[in-house]
Amino acid sequence: QVQLVESGGGLVQPGGSLRLSCAASGILFSTSVMGWYRQAPGKQRELVARITSGGSTIYADSVKDRFTISRDNAKNTVYLQMNRLKPEDTAVYYCNALWTRNYWGRGTQVTVSS
């Protein structure tokens, strides 16, 4: 059974930082493409960042130079370090694994507000 469990969300002031984690089980993590997506109220889910098995990364333009995706294959975990957060980053953040097919976590809420 595949499980992707996100953690690390919460309420943070503008300009602050958060680190999201996603612990994966039931997949061959080291060969999976891992990603973070987000969905704000009334908007479609969008790609935030993605990292391949070889460590190549892509980012949405809106988060470049502020967010960093990384992975630890020994821990079957992918991370999203989010710095200089803005109110428009407020959303539910979802972990995604592309292995035999797409798998999704349940999401973690990130709220950026003063």
pLDDT, mean over the chain:
97
Residue 86 — very low, low, confident or very high, per pLDDT cuts 50/70/90? Answer: very high
Which of 81, 114, 89 lies closest to 8, judged by CA?
81
Residues with Cβ within 8 Å of residue 25, at least 6 apart in sequence: 1, 2, 3, 76
Residue 29 — very low, low, confident or very high, per pLDDT cuts 50/70/90? Answer: very high
DSSP state of 32: S
Residues 40-52: what's their mean pLDDT? 97
pLDDT digits (tens, 9 = 90+) for 105-114: 999 999 999 9
Residue 85 — very low, low, confident or very high, per pLDDT cuts 50/70/90? Answer: very high
Residues 31-54: what's their mean pLDDT? 97
Q: Which residue type, as a one-letter code, is found at position 97?
A: A
Report yes or no: 18 and 10 within 8 Å, Cβ to Cβ: yes
- HSE value, Cβ hemisphere, 13 Å, CA-based, for 6: 26
